Amino acid sequence: MRQAIRRRRSIRKYQRKPIPPKVMEELLDSMRLAPSSTNKQRWRMIVVTDDDLKTELAAASGNQKFVADCSAYLVGVAEPGAYYSTVDMTIALDHLSLAAVEMGLGTCWIGDFDPERIKELLGIPKAREVPICMTLGYPAQSPAAKKRKEPSELFRKDRWPAKWQ
């Protein structure tokens, strides 16, 4: 798993290639097994593989072309009143993103999207929220690792401002 963490990249260029059903089932199972608040799993995930629908979702996702090219577009749906379901979905998608790396696939978190338009396109009830989306597919690129901050910049020991190291 440590190698998957080190190799994970945001993929913005995909091969137009479907994910075999067994592979998709394994990826989705990695989400299902993720921890959730009081084990309620108060979220749902729509897995969009239809090319025409992905094209419409690309327009609703900041006109990012790679959304239309991915194998699957994952749309997280939160239950009303479950304030922690977005955190739970994020944990589940992070599990999926690491499993994807191990299986030769890539992902990209989508920050620019119109939740209301996505709800309309996918028939999601108005009472539900769409807080998170992610692309999934076979990479057509191998981006280099981006520089990360040093631990001493990010972590504190016991109290502010004591640095970790």
pLDDT tens across 54-113, in order?
A: 999 999 999 999 999 999 999 999 988 888 999 999 999 999 999 999 999 999 999 999
The enclosing domain of 55 has a CATH number of 3.40.109.10
> Does any domain span residue 145?
yes
CA gap 19, 138 in Å, rounded: 8
Q: Grade residue 7 by pLDDT with cuts at 50, 70 and 90.
A: confident
Contact 164, 152 (CB under 8 A): yes
Answer yes or no: is 164 within a domain.
no
Domain with 28, as residue range(s), is 2-154
**Residue 144 falls inside a structural domain:** yes
* 161 domain-assigned: no
pLDDT at 164: 85
Q: Report yes or no on 162 lying in a domain.
A: no
- Structure tokens of 109? 């978190």
Between 152 and 118, residue with greater pLDDT: 118
Q: Is residue 9 a part of any domain in this protein?
A: yes
Beta-carbon count within 10 A of 89 CB: 25
| Mean pLDDT on 33-48 | 96
| pLDDT score, position 2 | 86
The reply to whether 159 falls in a domain is no
* Domain count of the fold of the chain: 1
Q: Mean pLDDT over residues 147-153, rounded?
A: 92
pTM above 0.75, yes or no: yes
What is the pLDDT at residue 83?
A: 87
